[in-house]
């Protein structure tokens, strides 16, 4: 059985290793995959995006343990959820919202059964004491229904903006990656010859077929011109817009840090003018 881990713990401290130790003790031989431990601290929305991009590439029977938990020790609920993308384990703070939009929950339960907690509980490290044991027992085959009562309305974040308004697509910056590329909510885009087929990743926008050379990508301060296929289509240091590996429109600078050069941050509005 495979368990993935996504946290904001970093790798300097022992937190990630301790959770793996707890799980290995409960379910010897389990396989671990680290998706990321570099989520910005307490950034639930960033984690929601990373999970949405990563989870489709894992076996559908995988267990995904997520600990970005600014509300640890409060009344926020610990939950586990069954979806077509696998079993999700983590806090009920909206971190699974983007996954549920693509792979709806079949059952979500509150992790209240003390049989599947550590016997000594901390108020500040539920990753070790509640979430890691739950993931390990799920990997052993314990039915999801045994962990607690169903949760009818788990917390959900608002989905990212994507709308068509008077000849322009309007979206927002979702994420800035390690290279400085500003990934937007405009997608999913697929090249079809000289056209781009848009099938909205979020929201209810109907599919569109757009002539690529008739598009112009703009932010509040910059006109990036048409959508490109590769970084190499512009000179070093020049800004551009292109379709990234997940089919989302990305704003970048060739051989540079796009978000810094363009002055972009998560939540900024991005427009694609349709000519």
In tens, the pLDDT along 13-42 reads 999 999 999 999 999 999 999 999 999 999
- Decide if 48 contacts 157 (C-beta within 8 A): yes
Whole-number pLDDT of residue 221? 83
Whole-number pLDDT of residue 204? 78
In tens, the pLDDT along 96-121 reads 999 999 999 999 999 999 999 999 99
Q: What is the CATH number of the domain that holds 108?
A: 3.40.50.10790
Let me know if residue 240 belongs to a domain: yes
In tens, the pLDDT along 179-207 reads 999 999 998 999 999 999 999 988 778 89
User: Where in the sequence is the domain holding 183, given as residue range(s)?
Assistant: 162-274
Cα–Cα distance, 111 to 270 (Å, whole number): 40
The mean pLDDT of the chain is 95
> If DSSP codes are grouped into helix, strand and coil, which group holds residue 123?
coil
Question: Are 241 and 188 contained in the same domain?
Answer: yes
Question: Are 138 and 186 contained in the same domain?
Answer: no
- Decide if 109 contacts 129 (C-beta within 8 A): no
Question: Are 66 and 110 contained in the same domain?
Answer: yes
Taking alpha carbons only, the member of 60, 188, 80, 190 closest to residue 143 is 80
Q: How is residue 256 annotated by DSSP?
A: B
Whole-number pLDDT of residue 213? 87
Let me know if residue 63 belongs to a domain: yes
Let me know if residue 152 belongs to a domain: no
- Decide if 266 contacts 173 (C-beta within 8 A): yes
pLDDT band at 167 (very low <50, low <70, confident <90, very high): confident
- Decide if 254 contacts 178 (C-beta within 8 A): no
Let me know if residue 197 belongs to a domain: yes
* Global model pTM greater than 0.75: yes
Domains contained in the chain, number: 2
Question: Are 9 and 124 contained in the same domain?
Answer: yes
Question: Are 258 and 184 contained in the same domain?
Answer: yes
Question: Are 14 and 128 contained in the same domain?
Answer: yes
Question: Domain ends where: 117, 147, 177?
Answer: 147
pLDDT beyond 90 at 165? no
Interacting residues of 181 by C-beta distance below 8 A, sequence separation 6+: 244, 250, 251, 252, 258, 259
């Amino acid at each position: 059985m495979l368990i993935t881990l996504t946290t904001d713990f970093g790798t300097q401290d022992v937190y990630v290793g301790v959770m793996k130790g707890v799980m290995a003790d409960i379910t010897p031989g389990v396989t671990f995959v680290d998706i990321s431990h570099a989520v910005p601290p307490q950034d639930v929305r960033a984690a929601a995006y990373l999970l949405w991009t990563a989870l489709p590439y894992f076996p559908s029977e995988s267990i995904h343990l997520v600990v970005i938990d600014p509300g640890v020790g409060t009344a926020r609920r610990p939950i586990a959820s069954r979806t077509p993308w696998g079993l999700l384990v983590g806090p009920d703070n909206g971190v699974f919202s983007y996954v549920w939009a693509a792979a709806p929950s079949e059952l979500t339960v509150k992790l209240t059964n003390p049989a599947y907690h550590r016997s000594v509980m901390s108020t500040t490290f539920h990753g070790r004491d509640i979430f890691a044991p739950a993931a390990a027992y799920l990997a052993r085959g314990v039915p999801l229904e045994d962990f607690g009562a169903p949760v009818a309305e788990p917390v959900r974040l608002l989905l990212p903006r994507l709308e068509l308004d008077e000849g322009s697509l309007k979206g927002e910056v979702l994420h800035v990656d390690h290279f400085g590329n500003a990934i937007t909510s405009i997608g999913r885009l697929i090249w079809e010859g000289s056209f781009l087929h848009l099938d909205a990743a979020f929201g209810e926008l109907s599919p569109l077929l757009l002539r690529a050379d008739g598009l112009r990508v703009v932010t509040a301060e910059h006109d990036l011109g048409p959508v490109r296929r590769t970084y190499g289509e512009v000179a070093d240091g020049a800004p551009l817009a292109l379709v990234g590996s997940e089919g989302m429109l990305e704003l970048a600078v060739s051989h540079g840090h796009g978000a810094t050069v363009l002055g972009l941050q998560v939540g900024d509005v991005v427009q694609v003018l349709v000519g």
